[in-house]
Amino acid sequence: MDKLLIAKSEPLWNTDKRIISLISGLIVLLFALPHFGLNSFYLHLMIMIFMHAVMAQSWNVIAGFSGQISLGHGAFFGIGAYATSFLYVQYGISPWISIFLGMIVSGVAAVLIGIPMLRLSGHYFAIATLLIGISFQVIFQRWEWVGAASGVWVPMTSGDSLLALQFHSSKMPYYYIFLVFFIITFFLVWLLSRSKLGYRLRAVRDDPQAALSLCINVSNYKIIAYVISAMIMAPMGSLFAQYILIIDPDRVFNIEISIIVLLITVLGGIGNVWGPIVGAAILIPISEYSRIYLGGTGGAVDLILYGLILMLICIFRPEGLISFFPKNILERKKQR
Amino acid sequence: MISEIILQAMVTGLMMGLIYALIAAGLSLIFGLMDIVNFAHGEHLMLSMFSSFWLWSLFGLDPIFSIPITILLMAFCGVLTHYFLIRYILKAKMLIQICATFGLSIFIRSIAQFLWTPDFRNIDKPLLEGRLEISGMFIGQPQLIASLVCLVAFILLYLFVTKTETGLALQATAQDRHAAEILGIPSDKMFAIGWAIGLGCVGVAGGMMANYFFIFTDVGINFALFAFVAVALGGFGSIIGCLYAGIIIGLVESLGGLLIDPSFKLLYVFAIYLLVVIFRPQGLFGRY
Amino acid sequence: MKILSVENLSRSFGGIKANNDISFEVTEGTILGVIGPNGAGKSTLFDLITGYTKTDNGKVSFFNKDISGLSPDKISSLGIGRTFQKLKPFADQTLLENVMIGSFVKEDNIKKARDKALEIIDFVDLIEKRHHFARELSTGQRKRLEMARAMAIEPKLLLMDEVTGGVDQKTIPGLVELIKKLKKSGVTIITIEHNINIIMEISDNILALDQGKRIAYGTPKEIQQNEEVIDSYLGTVDAT
């Protein structure tokens, strides 16, 4: 009885003071960072890290939490990008509204794709999503209504405009917008991983058969994970479109997007909430610097590195780099 | 007139289908053996086309003469793939296995792009050229020969797997690698052989296609996608199923392109994939 | 009061009749032991009752409600828990997390779900291992894990597939005690068991299968004296 009482008195999860102060310190630092005179390259680098961390987190939700490997996740990024740019150009709808419309469209697309596809498991699903990712690109390349292969050009406002989500004088506003989305996303996903839903998704991932015996409707939970994942991805597409203002199918539906989210997550640590941050913080600088110093023609050099890193991680560290961190700081302490 | 065009499209589709079948057979063999999908299959195909191209361009070897070299190079490449990558991920989770071969595909494609640029190349004046006219239909000679060679290779592969001792050992390993080990069949060696043969198939297809296809670094992507579809259609691990599935895909592609819109060829094949995996997840045909 | 009734249940796999016209009933609060040689169809019977395998023929009723044809998650929601012969723990999660996934069925609040899971883990006597990953546990401990996980959904009927199979001899008495304790707490149990001494000790009734057919049903005493059972299964084993 004694041991049971002790067990019950344990905190639900690690409330280690060090980790809490570390995280809050980091958040403060990130908010203060632009005021230390970062030039626009470093601002861009940070923006890309935030964006890719969120994109990878999106993939982490479907692949890491529920165990379904999507190789076409770029589709939802593209949907988000098109939602804001197209609605703004065609109907003058403020991007702030269409970010949410993009999320909804993405979520609906995920349901429509998910219902037939998530009945498939393993390789079948992975191959199907690969085909979906490419199909989206093919369709948008031919779809005249949304500008076909030339894409959508968002007309520039004359100055900075919060309403139109365009800033030309400095990258700083983009920095803060991406930062806020980044923090919110990670907070929500952290909550998700600690919730009943999170527990059940991991059950579906680890053993769908056993999950069924615990009243878990496996296919429904897979679809829920897919929808959540799609809705995390879409706003990044929207914000990216606002950031570069010219989008076309080859850029926002590129298979490279699907590749990089997978790579970041696997590199950082799949199934771990913090994995995507570690992955993005390491990979994005490598990618941006290699583009600068090794030449960016065709983007092949960074891709060579991606492929190499991915294979090395799979061989030597399948749990990702996060597994180098001492376990008892990240996870609940094992009490004896 | 219309029926002639359709007939022409069917013949074209059939010829493409035989090539898809051989590529898919290589994929299926590897999958059947160790439950690993080679996501770098398209890149291996691309490598075999480049092998053919460089042997022509540097040494003046015509693709039909260089094909044995290409096959050997690809088989060697398969063995390397096994020993340097696959061996380490055999026991890993499926997710890691997918990521690993996916990583290999990115790696090969971008290295190729780095070394050879993304330019399109083709082999000038190969020995196989021109086209035949058979009762009003025009059939490209290299295409015809390529598909016939693929068919022959396919038959040889099938005979090898079902009739020879090594082939039977491969099947035994595919069914139960531990039981096979007890019978004295070393699974590691079998896996290496499987990779060598699987990529050898790709070598045949790539080498023959180099005669008439544009050669560029992304050329493999669509072929790999079609091979994935063919393998799912034929039933994962089934070799003979790949033949039927390859032909179905070739026909769907060329007839869909003719009758609806050629720019959506991928989508028709994709639709077939979805229909099959949803309604008949075990594939259209059984194992072996 | 009968909790489960199985009528004329049949299922074949490619010509082999894994279950052939099986009927029996289970009374609430009792333990039914299922015996039979390997390949007799015991695990298939479990899969048919819990919806993991579709029936060809026949009917399964739970509290007089027809449940044949329902999906496994629906059936477990009605209050039928199970363990698996080939163990299926959530390997990458701790024992506590494994059991919590079960206790979340009846409890949305995470703290309450955790406390309930801890009580069940204590019940199966693994409280010290609560933060160990399932893959780090021994076979016997994983069997307890599966029992705990199934108990956490508060089942009215619990199907246990070879709880004592493949575990260390020393741990068997503990597992037997556990089953008895479970029965006392009011759960009805169907258990597949190879160890004939255990089955005789714990069961109220025994169902004997052979080659997919029911060959006997009755109290342990009756089964011991049934010639068909002795022929096909008990053989020379001294059942006393």
Q: Which of C84, C104, C110 is facing A200, going by the closest CB pair?
A: C104
Cβ contact A215–C76 (<8 Å): yes
From C117, which residue of chain A is nearest by alpha-carbon distance? A8
- Higher pLDDT among residues B56 and A13, named by residue: B56
Gap from A66 CA to chain C (nearest CA, Å): 12
Interface test with A, best of B28, B82, B107, B280 (most A CBs within 10 A): B107
In-domain check, residue A107: yes
Residues 71-110 of C with CB under 8 A from A: 71-73, 76-77, 81-82, 84, 88-93, 97, 100-102, 104-105, 108, 110
The pLDDT of residue A326 is above 70? no
| CATH number of the domain within which A242 lies | 1.10.3470
Query: What pLDDT digit, counting tens, does each position of A25-46 carry?
Result: 999 999 988 888 788 889 999 9
Least confident of A177-191, B79-93, C104-118, C224-238: C224-238
Domain that includes residue A40, residue range: 17-330
Q: Percent of chain C at pLDDT above 90?
A: 45
Testing the interface with C: which of A213, A220, A270, A331 to mutate, by most C Cβ within 10 A?
A: A213
Instruction: Tell me the per-residue pLDDT of A91-100, one tens digit each, with 9 for 90 and over.
Output: 988 989 999 9
Nearest-CA distance A19 → chain C (Å)? 20
Q: Does the distance separating the beta carbons of C89 and A195 come in below 8 Å?
A: no
Supply the mean pLDDT for chain A.
87
Q: Report helix, strand or coil for A167.
A: coil
The neighbours of chain B, by the rule of 3 or more Cβ pairs under 8 Å, are A
For residues A296 and C71, give the distance between their C-alpha atoms in angstroms, rounded to a whole number: 54
A63, A122, A314 member nearest B100 (Cβ)? A314
In a domain, A135, yes or no: yes
| A1 falls within a domain | no
Architecture in CATH of C2-85+155-234: 3-Layer(aba) Sandwich (3.40)
Instruction: Using the Cα atoms of residue B271, residue A255, residue A68 and residue B35 in order, give the sign of their dihedral.
Output: positive
CA distance to partner chain B, nearest, from residue A283 (Å)? 15
Q: Which of C76, C81, C118 sits opposite A7 (nearest CB)?
A: C118
User: CB–CB of A310 and B95 under 8 A?
Assistant: no
CB contact under 8 A, A215 and C130: no
Whether residues A67 and B95 touch (CB distance < 8 A) is answered with: yes
ipTM: 0.89
B227-251 CB burial, b ≥16 within 10 A, e <16: bbbbbbbbbbbbbbbbbbbbbbbbb
Taking one residue from A and the other from B, the number of pairs with CB-CB distance under 8 angstroms is: 125
Q: Which of C90, C108, C130 sits opposite A196 (nearest CB)?
A: C108
Nearest to A224 by CA among A196, A264, A245: A196
pLDDT at A48 over 90: yes
| Per-residue confidence (pLDDT) for residue A214, from 0 to 100 | 94
- The CB density around residue C122, as the number of other CB atoms within 10 Å, is 19
Find out whether A134 and A74 touch, Cβ atoms under 8 Å.
no
Residues B18 and B155: their CA atoms lie apart, in Å, by 11
Identify the H or E element spanning B27. Answer: helix B2-34
Kindly report the pTM of this predicted structure. Answer: 0.88
β-strands C80-82, C157-161 pairing: parallel
pLDDT at B258: 84
Assigned domain for A7 exists: no
B249 φ/ψ angles, rounded to the nearest 5 degrees: -65, -45
Give contacts of A332 with chain C, Cβ < 8 Å: 131
Domain residue ranges of chain C, discontinuous segments joined by + = 2-85+155-234
pLDDT band at A298 (very low <50, low <70, confident <90, very high): low
Q: Does C112 touch chain A (CB under 8 A)?
A: no
Distance between CA B166 and CA B169 in Å, rounded? Answer: 5
The dihedrals phi and psi of A246, each to the nearest 5 degrees, come to -125, 120
Both structure tokens of B75: 């088989």
pLDDT reported for residue A112: 92
Measured in whole angstroms, the distance separating CA B139 from the mean position of its chain's CA atoms is 22
Q: Is the pLDDT of residue A53 over 90?
A: yes
Q: Is A243 exposed, middle or buried (0-12, 13-18, 19+ CB in 10 A)?
A: buried
**How many domains in chain A?**
1
Contacts of A12 in chain C (CB under 8 A): 110-111, 114
Q: Is C52 part of the contact surface with chain A (CB cutoff 8 Å)?
A: yes
Flag whether residue A56 sits within 8 Å of chain B, measured between CB atoms.
no
State the Cα–Cα distance between residues C123 and C127, nearest whole angstrom: 8
Cβ separation A213–C115 shorter than 8 A:
no
Q: How far apart are CA A207 and CA A204, in angstroms?
A: 6
Percentage helix, strand, coil for chain B under 3-state DSSP, each rounded to 5? 75, 5, 20
Mutate one of A255, A315, A317, A323 to test the B interface: name it (highest B CB count within 10 A): A315
Give the whole-number percent of chain B exceeding pLDDT 70. 97
Of residues C197 and A107, the one with the higher pLDDT is: A107
